[in-house]
Chains A and B, each alone.
Chain A
């Protein structure tokens, strides 16, 4: 196993990080990933503060290992975001990952509270800003990523640039990481660890609707689309990557989103669902621990 600064910092066995995915990465998935030696992140975006607290406690009932919460300020406004941060600090969550915002004022506060702060970035300039503000770990997100996308640069261009510019900050690779091969490629480009979303949707524990999971399995390597239109709960025009919804008369095809277990089956069929460009290499639904093991194999020397 190679040395990983990020894994050492977070106190985990292998630098496999499951991306926080709004409403889809719940306590079962997070606990399973952390139990397997990686680091799970609760998808805190759109979770009202009281529900977020409940989820954190549910993770603690399932595992004693470190885990994280992922927050995005783009939804609900500064008061909701602050209330969520308060929950994370009060519950002493070990790791907080952040996305889509300016965190220069927040990162020193997180550091002072003893929480490990990770920021997902889409450009070299943003990576520099995050590191300068005190991020412990930077996640370089390539345009291959599923869900919302911060920049327009492919991972193979962004990752080496960020790793070279920030020699003292561990950098994780995000976007299209689905197997040991993609982990090895990311390591060659300077990754200290990996951050994967779509792969962990296709697990028994994820809260994705069964139809969503089946659509992931059916998808080929050419099936995802980069879009800048409408996505549920986000500002119009925010870039995102999806598997387009059913053709024919289907206005929901124009909407990007994620379908959860409790959502309507027809919505899971019609919506354009978030997925990364590595989706074509995901062939089955597995327990999350198998996913961690598969990615961890990419860190074997």
Chain B
């Protein structure tokens, strides 16, 4: 299997990073929400997961920029493709920005107006990211069960002839 992405399919690096990233990002959302809500003191776990999330997402953005994206599968409307790509990029960006906002809020602890802004942005950002993730998952399920194409298989490493 190829290591880099081409217009004909995903490479092994992207496939591994996608699934490892998915687990890390979801773990981060849960820990972040818990820490914001003050439900538990998870600072010891939050910090390493936040660092992993930020590094993974930053690398995936860089990797995505380096290579061509695989062609959309036949039958997917152009507008859907545009929205899906925008959501995917927004999710990766949020994986870099939210840990930074979290670090600012929990460790730098700014006061006054700046502190208020950071806390607001952090909460809104996390909410938007969770909604974006839900949209991303709904899109994947739609491809699998409504359009019945092989988008998911392609991200699991199956060779899909275009």
CA distance A48 to B74 in the complex (A): 8
Of the candidates B71, B77, B82, B162, the one whose C-beta lies within 8 Å of that of A264 is B77
Q: Which applies to chain B's interface (DSSP): helix, strand, loop or mixed?
A: loop
Q: A48-B71, A49-B162, A50-B162 are in contact. Are A80 and B7 (CB under 8 A)?
A: yes
Let me know if A79 and B8 touch, CB within 8 A.
yes
CA distance A78 to B77 in the complex (A): 23
| Tally of chain A residues near chain B (CB < 8 A) | 20
Let me know if A77 and B77 touch, CB within 8 A.
no
Let me know if A232 and B82 touch, CB within 8 A.
yes
Let me know if B78 and A79 touch, CB within 8 A.
no
Q: A48-B71, A48-B162, A50-B162 are in contact. Are A77 and B78 (CB under 8 A)?
A: no
CA distance A76 to B162 in the complex (A): 12
Q: A77-B6, A79-B8, A257-B78 are in contact. Are A46 and B71 (CB under 8 A)?
A: yes
CA distance A264 to B74 in the complex (A): 16
B106 within 8 A of A: no
CA distance A257 to B78 in the complex (A): 10
Q: A77-B6, A80-B6, A80-B8 are in contact. Are A267 and B71 (CB under 8 A)?
A: no
Per-residue interface assignment for chain B, residues 98 to 115, with 1 indicating a CB less than 8 Å from any chain A CB and 0 otherwise? 000000000000000000
CA distance A79 to B5 in the complex (A): 10
Let me know if B74 and A51 touch, CB within 8 A.
yes
CA distance A199 to B78 in the complex (A): 24
Looking at A78, A83, A257, the one whose CB has the most chain B CB atoms below 10 A away is A83
Q: What A residues does B71 contact at CB under 8 A?
A: 46, 48, 76, 80
Q: What B residues does A264 contact at CB under 8 A?
A: 77, 79
CA distance A83 to B71 in the complex (A): 12
Complex interface residues of chain B between 1 and 15 (CB less than 8 A to chain A): 6-8
Q: What B residues does A83 contact at CB under 8 A?
A: 8, 162
B59 within 8 A of A: no
A290 within 8 A of B: no
B68 within 8 A of A: yes
A284 within 8 A of B: no
Q: A77-B6, A77-B7, A79-B7 are in contact. Are A232 and B68 (CB under 8 A)?
A: no
Tell me the minimal C-beta distance from A181 to chain B in angstroms: 36
Tell me the minimal C-beta distance from B30 to chain A in angstroms: 34
CA distance A186 to B147 in the complex (A): 47
Residue of A nearest to B80 (CB): A264
Question: Which residues of B are interface residues toward A (Cβ below 8 A)?
Answer: 6-8, 67-68, 71, 74, 77-79, 82, 161-162
Could you jot down 19 A-B contacts, CB within 8 Å?
Answer: A48-B74, A49-B161, A49-B162, A50-B162, A51-B74, A76-B7, A76-B71, A77-B6, A77-B7, A77-B67, A78-B7, A79-B6, A79-B7, A80-B6, A80-B71, A83-B8, A257-B78, A264-B77, A267-B78
Question: Which residues of A are interface residues toward B (Cβ below 8 A)?
Answer: 46, 48-51, 75-81, 83, 232-233, 257, 262-264, 267
Q: Which 6 A-B pairs have the closest CB atoms?
A: A77-B68, A76-B7, A80-B7, A48-B162, A79-B6, A77-B7
